[in-house]
Structure 1
Amino acid sequence: MIGATVRSGLRPSQRIFQRPLIQPQISRIRLYSTDQPPHAKVRRSIFHRSLTVAKYTGYAGLSAIFGLFVLGAGILAHDAFTYNDRHVERVPINPLALHPERGGPKNLPVVKVQVDDEDDEEMKRLAEKPRLVIIGGGWGAMGVLQTLYPGHYHVTVVSAETFTTFTPLLPSAAVGTVQVRSLIEPLRKIVARLRGHFVAGKAVDISMADRLLEVEIVNTRGVKERVYVPYDKLVIAVGSTSSTHGVPGLEHCFQLKTIADAQQIRRRIMDNFELASLPTTCAEERERLLSFVVCGGGPTGVETAAEIYDFCQEDIMNYFPKACRADVSIHVIQSREHILNTYSEAISKYAEAKFERDGVHLITNARVSAVTPNHVIYTVRKEDGTIEQHSIPTNFTLWSTGIAMNPFAKRLTDLLPNQVHRKAIEVDAHLRVKGAPLGDIYAIGDCATIETAIVPHFMELVDEADKDKNGKIDFTEWEVMVEGIKKKIPMASNHISKVRELFELYDTDADNSLSLNELVRLLEDLGNKITALPATAQVASQQGKYIGRNLNKLSRQQAGLEARGLSDVQEHKATDSAPFIYHHLGMLAYIGNAAVFDIGDFAFTGGLAAMYAWRSIYWNEQVSARTRALLMIDWIIRGVWGRDLSRL
């Protein structure tokens, strides 16, 4: 055996590998043999990695195909079960819904029955519930509608607009950053949760004695007519209009409070750029066309100026002649020393520095004196006290300088005692309109202001606190009075936190008691220190939710009394223990690829990160999942393809 091995010239270990039955093992052993050259091992390693990548890429591709298949199947199933033939036959309609009886002080049709009150058993049951009428479709009205429990009230919403608008993003819609459809939600969809009704009309008058709301509608012939809508509870959330301050020529200005305003502004901006791009437009006229003047340095004015600047930087620069971008000028005229003056000083300065870097011209301590079709005229008081007049040529002026009363709110104050000269409807701590029948009418949002005067409650507070009836208030009785003040005027809480110091300050004769005269002076000074709540969406929303919770509470209590066979619940007893208290959650504003936040004692400013935080907050505050989806799509489209430059 050994000799044969020697003669063959092979070692025993080598002769084994010549056997054909185990030949596949040769390649496996050679793959890991250290005798192979390095480049061969590298090639095989790359080959195996390529196989692994291809394998997982194939898995990912199959997963994507499977996902698309499931999505397509889901859409097909949705279409199959959604789009079908639905026939409506023999729907009962009460004759009074089509031919209302007349009545009231003006003998108008009284809409006691709605067309759909007899659609089904649920609607018939709701028709017997107390009638809750809400005027308006803004933040306050949404707060009420989103908080109310279904089935407690026969709800009717009266609004001239058929949709609610997310007003904080109107500046973005004015330049095409987002589409107007992404900011609106039909009121009928919102009211549907409560099985409520919607009346497209404008509230113009009221008869409080008869509980009738006068509404102006447009009939099928296009003619305006008026009807009465009866109510048991009325919530007024009509908002406000822009304040004119007596400045002539405001008909040449734009406002930014509605969707229609945003659409008009967008058309004017695009028209100005298109006209400025024409070869026949001279340099002077081009500068006038591309001059944008914003009157007012509040959040709306600042955000509009920032959106116009972004529009010029990101879209005009790319698609219009560069001469247009070079001639653009943006001016913000502010009557006070700083813009965003309701925010912290640090935020105001940050915004001003940002505008200065961007080339947005800030004109502070100035007042607009007149607006013409081609100019904005304003005056500036110099340090020596002299007044200097200036003029800015422009074809675009935005007026955003405060608010004034809505016509319906003005009509109501004319009817109420002691409210004729008010700048808003005065309500008590429970948002009930003062002077109206108790618990019948509420007012919330920009159209209302919570009372701050304490002196009108003087005798009531004294009777409650003066236990010994000696005509003086000692410190123990003063502590009782402080609790009463907090219930009637919650906004006074911060001003009377130092109870002992306040008592000693007005105890001028140092007899450890307050005389009635000393007490009157104390309450007068205290009332003068209290400031009204700001006219913001945050305030209106919180007030609306408060009203919704109160109405739910009243309905539950009423149901309990009816079950025991007792009389109606008294509204003031049901709510006196819980006055409205505003919780400030902060303010924010967009200033051009940057944002500022003012949250109590904490102020936050920043660039891209702050902008995304600003977007996240507004995205979360949308009224429906539909508007959230549309808003997200708009932001993605703007980031990838830019703004829509079409003029519709």
Structure 2
Amino acid sequence: TTLVHLHHHHIAPIFRRSWHSLLIQSSPQSIWSTTSARFKTTSSHHVFDSSLHHIIPCKSFFSSFGESKLRTQSSMINREYSTNERQASTENQIPPQRSESLDDYEPIAQQLDPIENLPLKNSNTMREQVVLLGTGWGGFSFIKNFDLTNCDLHIVTPRNHFLFTPLLASACVGTLEFRSIVEPVRRARKEENYFYNAAKCVQIDTDQKLLRCRPVYDREKGDYAIRYDRLIVSVGMDVNTMGVRGAEMHGYFLKELDHARKIRYKIIECFEKATNPRLSIQERQELLHFVAIGGSFTGIELMSEIHDFIKEDLSNLFPELMLECKLSIIEAGPQILSTFDKSLQVYAKKHFRNEHINIYTGRKVVEVRENGVQLDDGSNITAGLVIWTAGIQSRKLFHHGRSGGLPLDRAQRVVVDEHLRVKGYEGSIYAMGDCASIDTAPLAATAQVASQQGKYLASFVAQQLEGKEPNETNSFTYSHRGTMAYIGNYKSITETKEFKLRGRASWVLWRSSYLTMLLSIRNKILVPLDWAKAWFFGRDVMNFKS
């Protein structure tokens, strides 16, 4: 009776899951001491403080929340939320935007079990074990081109699909549907010696050739290990907020499919909120101001798609709000689209001015707030949506010795030779894509580079499995095919070695090029259908978030 009373009236409303952990892992004596302390105090605040000393030793509770988080949440005991209030509070909070969870990468010294004591998933085989980390442009290109005759191929990644990132901005506003720009990893190959692991690699042991894998589902079951003979690292890069205050808390990112979904919902939510007659003009203007931080490809194409969404669809549904709508791009450098020829930069800037999209160059964001940003000159820009598209950084896997001593450059990228072999591990470990840096000729972190490296490495590793020695003539050589960017209103800019193109003709080239680059017949059918559907019936403006 005592346990039931305490559970229902004090612990459950806030720490229901933690109380279950206490019941499972604590001894009867510690549970009784916890409940006894309840009746020695009078206020609910003191009840929790008295019980706190008994709850902290519970391993699952402590590791999940941390001591500092416990103290912060202990002050919430006087706030008795109803079910509806708790749901409303959760909906109003912006979910974490980072593509990596810091909890997955606690220091290795805090791991409970040495990696050699973990259950080994691929222990019952004598075949050569090739393990690939990541399914981005490089990883998926490797999967599609690799010969599985002489080995087993294990894929380790928490994302069970390949994402066609050049069209991700279009999915943000409903020009394309989410499923039209992804390829399932499990269906990439049909051979019996092809294995997918829904897990994240959180440690590389180069001495024992073992990987510590943390499953995406049922994490409480614990980690497991995978043995490798040859390891291909293609984990890409993470978002870099550059230490700007509030960027992770209040900013929206655009790197994964889930990010695109959140941006679409937020845009529709801002318009629906702005229809409230109790709002002032200033409040509506704040809600309907959308800001992108970063004037490179992602920021430019995203704001161009949002511009088309508002102009072609939302203007018909919310005509009374069009005077309050505003789009802005903030770039720290002197120019937007800095990788393009200057004439194309000038054309894009003039186009944005004609479409009433504000461009701020040479301005740095020092803080992202719930209702806007603060610039380095002290000025404030209010906004209903702030999207961070500036900068990338290395994954947490390469920090604090988790990568087993792999050589890293200043940007924490893995150093490889001209054959994409990791320095010091030439016979067993390779790296490619954004997370790799060729020591003799570093390349930009682009989809083109990663895709070509994936295809090259698939052939190179297969040859090594056959016992063929590499030579200078078959080292990796990058072939640049050109650069394109969509700037809105069915216009784009294109730059290749042979020509420069802009306007509608460039837009036709932009769409046809990406259509041919799609990897499956399924998506090559779905994407044109989505374009036609958006043209005839308009983009989807429904918000399924309850």
TM-score of the two chains, using structure 2 as the length reference: 0.76
1:167-193 per-position Cα deviation (integer Å, ceiling 9, x unaligned): 111111111111101011110000325
1:284-308 per-position Cα deviation (integer Å, ceiling 9, x unaligned): 1110110001000000000011001
**More deviation, 406-415/276-285:** 406-415
1:244 counterpart (241, 246, 265): 241
State whether residues 589 and 595 of structure 1, in contact with CA within 8 Å, keep that contact through their aligned partners in structure 2.
yes
In structure 2, the CA distance between the partners of 1:361 and 1:200, relative to structure 1 (3 Å rule), is same
1:362 counterpart (359, 364, 367): 359
Q: CA deviation at 1:219?
A: 5.2
CA distance in 2: counterparts of 1:626 and 1:194, whole angstroms: 23
> Which runs of structure 2 are paired with 1:433-448 in the superposition (5 Å)?
433-435=422-424, 437-448=425-436
1:246-282 per-position Cα deviation (integer Å, ceiling 9, x unaligned): 1111120000000000001011001001111222222
CA distance in 1: counterparts of 2:276 and 2:152, whole angstroms: 58
> Which runs of structure 2 are paired with 1:175-214 in the superposition (5 Å)?
175-192=173-190, 195-214=193-212
Q: How many residues align?
A: 431
Q: Which has the higher contact order (CA 8 A, sep 6+)?
A: 2
Whichever residue aligns with residue 445 of structure 2, its letter is: A
Q: CA deviation at 1:546?
A: 0.8
For residue 100 of structure 1, what is the aligned residue in structure 2? none
1:339 counterpart (336, 339, 345): 336
For residue 57 of structure 2, what is the aligned residue in structure 1? none
State whether residues 346 and 603 of structure 1, in contact with CA within 8 Å, keep that contact through their aligned partners in structure 2.
no
For residue 111 of structure 1, what is the aligned residue in structure 2? 121
1:330 counterpart (327, 330, 345): 327
For residue 405 of structure 2, what is the aligned residue in structure 1? 416
For residue 550 of structure 1, what is the aligned residue in structure 2? 460
Q: Secondary structure at the match of 1:426?
A: strand
In structure 2, the CA distance between the partners of 1:417 and 1:178, relative to structure 1 (3 Å rule), is closer
Whichever residue aligns with residue 525 of structure 2, its letter is: A
1:136 counterpart (109, 119, 134): 134
2:474 counterpart (578, 581, 585): 578
2:395 counterpart (398, 401, 406): 406
1:600 counterpart (487, 491, 497): 497
Q: Secondary structure at the match of 1:229?
A: strand
1:59-96 per-position Cα deviation (integer Å, ceiling 9, x unaligned): xxxxxxxxxxxxxxxxxxxxxxxxxxxxxxxxxxxxxx
For residue 396 of structure 1, what is the aligned residue in structure 2? 385
CA distance in 1: counterparts of 2:407 and 2:195, whole angstroms: 34
Q: Secondary structure at the match of 2:458?
A: helix
Whichever residue aligns with residue 154 of structure 2, its letter is: T
State whether residues 201 and 218 of structure 1, in contact with CA within 8 Å, keep that contact through their aligned partners in structure 2.
yes
Q: CA deviation at 1:152?
A: 3.0
> Which runs of structure 2 are paired with 1:627-638 in the superposition (5 Å)?
627-638=523-534
State whether residues 159 and 201 of structure 1, in contact with CA within 8 Å, keep that contact through their aligned partners in structure 2.
yes
Q: CA deviation at 1:244?
A: 1.5
2:230 counterpart (219, 228, 233): 233
State whether residues 409 and 437 of structure 2, in contact with CA within 8 Å, keep that contact through their aligned partners in structure 1.
no
> Which runs of structure 2 are paired with 1:35-74 in the superposition (5 Å)?
none
Whichever residue aligns with residue 230 of structure 1, its letter is: R
Tell me which stretches of 4 or more aligned residues in structure 1 moved more than 4 Å.
Answer: 103-106, 411-414
For residue 419 of structure 2, what is the aligned residue in structure 1? 430
CA distance in 2: counterparts of 1:113 and 1:191, whole angstroms: 22
Q: Secondary structure at the match of 1:189?
A: coil
1:30-53 per-position Cα deviation (integer Å, ceiling 9, x unaligned): xxxxxxxxxxxxxxxxxxxxxxxx
> Which runs of structure 2 are paired with 1:223-372 in the superposition (5 Å)?
223=220, 225-250=222-247, 251-320=249-318, 322-372=319-369
CA distance in 1: counterparts of 2:342 and 2:354, whole angstroms: 19
> Which runs of structure 2 are paired with 1:366-515 in the superposition (5 Å)?
366-379=363-376, 388-410=377-399, 415-416=404-405, 419=408, 421-435=410-424, 437-451=425-439, 489=440, 491=441
1:407-447 per-position Cα deviation (integer Å, ceiling 9, x unaligned): 11335686427637543111111111113x22211111111
- Report sequence identity in percent: 33
Q: CA deviation at 1:577?
A: 3.8
State whether residues 149 and 194 of structure 1, in contact with CA within 8 Å, keep that contact through their aligned partners in structure 2.
no
Q: Secondary structure at the match of 2:202?
A: strand
Whichever residue aligns with residue 599 of structure 1, its letter is: T
State the superposition RMSD in angstroms.
2.0
For residue 505 of structure 1, what is the aligned residue in structure 2? none
For residue 539 of structure 1, what is the aligned residue in structure 2? 449
State whether residues 156 and 196 of structure 1, in contact with CA within 8 Å, keep that contact through their aligned partners in structure 2.
yes
Larger radius of gyration: 1
Unaligned segments of structure 1, at least 5 residues: 1-102, 115-126, 380-387, 452-488, 492-531, 559-568
CA distance in 2: counterparts of 1:201 and 1:278, whole angstroms: 44
Q: CA deviation at 1:150?
A: 3.7
Whichever residue aligns with residue 541 of structure 2, its letter is: L
CA distance in 2: counterparts of 1:229 and 1:394, whole angstroms: 47
TM-score of the two chains, using structure 1 as the length reference: 0.64
State whether residues 180 and 523 of structure 2, in contact with CA within 8 Å, keep that contact through their aligned partners in structure 1.
yes
1:625 counterpart (493, 517, 521): 521
State whether residues 151 and 194 of structure 1, in contact with CA within 8 Å, keep that contact through their aligned partners in structure 2.
no
Q: CA deviation at 1:375?
A: 1.9
